[in-house]
Amino acid sequence: MSLMRAVTFPRFGGPEELRCTEVACPEPAAAEVLIRTHAAGICYHDVLSRGGHIPRDKPGQILGHEIAGEIVGLGAGVPQSRLGERVVVYVRLHCGHCRYCLGGRPDLCRDSRVVGEHGGGGYAEYTTVPSRNAVRVPDGLSLEHAAMACCPIGTSVRAVLGVAQAGPGDVVLVTGAGGGLGLHQIQVAKSVGAHVIAVTSSDSKVETIRAVGADEVVVSPDLRFSAEVWQRTGKQGADIILENVVTGTIGESLRSAAQNAAIVVLGNIGARKVEMDPGLIIMRRLRIMGSGNATYQDLRRALHLMATGKVRPMIDRVLPFAEASDGHALMENRATTGRVLLSGWG
């Protein structure tokens, strides 16, 4: 049995629980591929998993679903031509035969899970996934950038273009605009001609938020931003609100909404329940919608936007896998502008 290096955590807790170890190297089953991991992004989902805030998770697993690398092994039935292919991993493991999968919405499959939720994630030298989950990376796009194609960029494409259906002239409000999702949502919205108002609690992130294309930036350390948004929109409100924070912001977002606005919920940083004013929802005819993982179509569109330069992956820093705990601490403390990537073992 061959061994590989991996980052695991023996118990739920803080970033310090993450440690490098050696585990058995996986072997690809039928219709699977073995991928040598080049880069793996740290998503806030990973932070919640490590902290024990996602009920399905358990300690000891290998986290990481933002994976890009090279196919180095093939299971039975996978064409030999795929050997050596540069790929990004589609994040959801899905059944492939339910009405949602057959309808192009594997993100809705009831018999599915995110790669790394029960182990087998990208914080390791190698991982195996079904061959259909390994999507070819366009020539000229680096694997470090490609690691961000499905989540957060594909997730942004799903929310902005798939769920909210943003278009030219729409006023789009983005909360948590300096984070890994927000910075890419701004770019996706601008790619279709929307007007973007970005909300951040940090002065230090304003320059970066403007650099990715935000038309206006509202700095609100106390997260009381609705009055300013109302003034900036001529007391009309935002047509689309991308809620990446929710905890502490959802009330302000609803008050910032235009008539018949779409409020797309993607995150819940505090991982707890929130209160909403039903009267406001009724009076303004607000549409509150959930959004999550990309579809394959969203992923391919994300790769195209990246390859053509319309969306620039926002990477705060690249750390070796051995420093995964430092990356988690940075994400948990919101000390980054963009994503932290893991690459190389030192």
Q: Per the CATH hierarchy, to which homologous superfamily does domain 153-290 belong?
A: Medium-chain alcohol dehydrogenases, catalytic domain (3.90.180.10)
pLDDT at residue 271, rounded to an integer: 67
294 exposure class (CB count in 10 Å sphere: 0-12, 13-18, 19+): buried
pLDDT of residue 2: 94
Rounded Cα–Cα distance for residues 315 and 148 (Å): 9
Between CA 121 and CA 65 the distance in angstroms is: 6
In CATH, the number for domain 3-148+313-342 is: 3.90.180.10
Q: Which of 167, 187, 169, 168 is nearest to 177 (CA)?
A: 187
Give the model's pLDDT for residue 272.
75
Predicted confidence at residue 28, as pLDDT, reads: 97
CATH code 3.90.180.10 region(s) in the chain: 3-148+313-342, 153-290
Residue 79 identity: P
Asked whether the CA dihedral 210, 212, 218, 221 is positive or negative, the reply is negative
**pLDDT value for 1:** 67
DSSP state of 117: B
Are the C-beta atoms of 80 and 60 separated by less than 8 Å? no
- Backbone phi and psi for residue 307, each to the nearest 5 degrees, phi listed first: -65, -30
Long-range contacts of 249-254 (CB under 8 A, 24+ apart): 249/175, 249/176, 249/199, 249/223, 249/225, 250/274, 250/276, 251/275, 251/276, 251/277, 252/223, 252/224, 252/225, 252/226, 253/173, 253/175, 253/226, 254/280, 254/281, 254/284, 254/286
Pairing of strands 339-342, 315-319: parallel
CA 268 to centroid of chain Cα atoms = 13
- The reported pTM is 0.92
What pLDDT, in 10s, does the model give residues 146-202? 999 999 999 999 999 999 999 999 999 999 998 889 999 999 999 999 999 999 998
Residue 208 in contact with residue 310, Cβ under 8 Å? Answer: no
**DSSP 8-state class, residue 295:** P
Residue 288 tokens read as 């509150």
> 100 CB contacts (<8 Å, ≥6 apart)?
106, 107, 108, 109, 110
The distance from CA 48 to its chain's CA centroid, rounded to whole angstroms, is 13
Q: In this predicted structure, what is the pLDDT of residue 57? A: 66
Cα separation, 249 vs 241, in Å, equals: 11
Residue 24 and residue 57 in contact, taking contact as beta carbons nearer than 8 Å: no
DSSP bridge partners of 6: 21, 124
Alpha-carbon distance 226 to 331, whole Å? 26
pLDDT digits (tens, 9 = 90+) for 122-136: 999 999 999 999 999
Residue stretches of the chain with pLDDT short of 70:
1, 56-57, 270-271
* pLDDT of amino acid 119: 76
**How far is the C-alpha of 176 from the C-alpha of 173, rounded, in Å?**
10
pLDDT value at position 59? 82
